[in-house]
């Protein structure tokens, strides 16, 4: 799969603070690529550099295999901050101003983007009458002017209520189905899980891992078991082959296996043949949150 964006050793400091430390990864064409990390991890700095708002101290990046330029920039739509729309102008009037300033799109393009973001019926309504979710959808509509190949969003659901969050997520999915490559920064694990195909996890300016979401967050098989005597059960299961780790947790014992290798019937048989009857035997999936904490812990 061709890379839409390639980063090679990007570093950036603000005085003594190292915002980015030698970051390299590639964004595949057609992906929804999440840049995930807590506040202060360097996400916004990274987006500002690839959009030529900030200059890196060292390293380079390429769009579509070429260094960034005004020509490549026209193929990228972006939403980095809360948009500065005029409160008492309509959606159409605000997009006309955006189009004139940016030089992307034309008057005929405005109805097209309003339809994509599901605001065509409210195109003559004042911006001040919009909900927060509608305002964010209009901002995404502004980024879609000129039909760019790539969209770059910084925390696109930040500050929205649950309805607004769901609307933006569905919009991002629909844009991906239209063939857009989407790069979005987020501090929300749930957002990445529901929307993104690929992820780069950042912590204090350092890239922890990057790749396909399913591969980065590949879960182990975790089996929970319990019996009347937890200590005895824990000691017994130390002799069970195949588990990579065994942990006692209150009145339960957890066995960890490589993904797809846990066999509940084998565990049950082993315990029974060794004189122990289980009162709990269940497969437990590791949460995305626990995996994320594993990756980002010091």
pLDDT tens, position by position, 241-276 = 989 889 887 789 999 888 788 999 999 999 999 999
For the four alpha carbons of 110, 47, 71 and 2, in that order, the dihedral sign comes to negative
| Structural contact between residues 83 and 138, judged by C-beta atoms closer than 8 angstroms | yes
For the four alpha carbons of 92, 94, 100 and 105, in that order, the dihedral sign comes to negative
Q: For residue 1, what pLDDT is reported? A: 65
pLDDT of 62-120, one tens digit each? 999 988 888 888 899 999 877 779 999 999 999 999 888 877 777 778 999 999 999 99
Q: Is the pLDDT of residue 226 over 90?
A: yes
| Structural contact between residues 47 and 80, judged by C-beta atoms closer than 8 angstroms | yes
Of 242, 251, 253, the closest CA to residue 284 belongs to 253
Distance from C-alpha of 139 to C-alpha of 292, rounded to nearest angstrom: 30
pLDDT of 166-207, one tens digit each? 999 999 999 999 999 999 999 888 888 889 999 999 999 999
The domains found in the chain, sorted by start residue, are 3-213 (3.40.50.300), 221-296 (3.30.70.100)
Q: For residue 286, what pLDDT is reported? A: 63
**β-pairing verdict for 198-203 and 32-36:** parallel
| Structural contact between residues 17 and 66, judged by C-beta atoms closer than 8 angstroms | no
Cross-strand partners of 62? 6, 67
Q: For residue 287, what pLDDT is reported? A: 59
Q: How many residues does the chain have?
A: 298
Q: For residue 159, what pLDDT is reported? A: 86
Q: For residue 199, what pLDDT is reported? A: 93
Q: For the residues 40-45, what does the mean pLDDT come to?
A: 92
289 or 40, which is more confident? 40
pLDDT band at 153 (very low <50, low <70, confident <90, very high): very high
| Structural contact between residues 113 and 105, judged by C-beta atoms closer than 8 angstroms | yes
Distance from C-alpha of 243 to C-alpha of 257, rounded to nearest angstrom: 5
Residue located via tokens 């980095």: 80
Q: For the residues 215-239, what does the mean pLDDT come to?
A: 88
Q: Is the pLDDT of residue 285 over 70?
A: no
Q: Is the pLDDT of residue 235 over 70?
A: yes
Distance from C-alpha of 72 to C-alpha of 90, rounded to nearest angstrom: 30
Q: What H or E segment, with its residue span, contains residue 167?
A: helix 162-177
Of 199, 180, 181, the closest CA to residue 189 belongs to 199
Q: Is the pLDDT of residue 298 over 70?
A: no
Q: Is the pLDDT of residue 26 over 80?
A: yes
């Amino acid at each position: 799969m061709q890379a839409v964006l390639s980063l090679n050793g990007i570093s950036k400091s603000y005085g003594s603070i190292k915002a980015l430390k030698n970051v390299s990864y590639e964004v595949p064409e057609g992906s929804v690529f999440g840049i995930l990390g807590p506040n202060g991890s360097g996400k916004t700095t990274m987006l500002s550099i690839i959009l030529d708002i900030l200059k890196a101290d060292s390293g380079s990046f390429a769009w579509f295999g070429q260094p960034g330029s005004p020509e490549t920039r026209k193929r990228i739509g972006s939403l980095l901050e809360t948009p500065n729309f005029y409160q008492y102008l309509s959606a159409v009037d605000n997009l006309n101003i955006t189009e004139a300033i940016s030089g992307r799109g034309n008057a005929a393009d405005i109805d097209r983007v309003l339809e994509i973001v599901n605001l065509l019926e409210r195109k003559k309504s004042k911006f001040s009458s919009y909900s927060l979710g509608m305002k964010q959808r209009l901002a995404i509509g502004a980024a879609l002017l000129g039909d760019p190949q790539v969209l770059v969003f910084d925390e696109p659901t930040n500050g929205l209520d649950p309805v607004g969050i769901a609307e933006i997520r569905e919009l991002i999915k629909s844009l991906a189905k239209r063939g857009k490559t989407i790069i979005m920064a987020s501090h929300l694990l749930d957002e990445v899980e529901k929307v993104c195909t690929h992820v780069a996890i950042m912590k204090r300016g350092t890239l922890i891992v990057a790749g396909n979401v399913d591969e980065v967050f590949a879960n182990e098989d975790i089996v929970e078991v319990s019996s009347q005597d937890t200590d005895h059960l824990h000691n017994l299961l130390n002799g069970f082959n195949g588990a990579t780790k065994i942990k006692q947790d209150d009145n339960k014992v957890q066995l960890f296996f490589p993904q797809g290798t846990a066999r509940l019937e084998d565990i049950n048989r082993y315990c029974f043949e060794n004189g122990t009857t289980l009162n709990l035997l269940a497969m437990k999936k590791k949460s995305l949150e626990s995996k994320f904490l594993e990756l980002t812990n010091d």
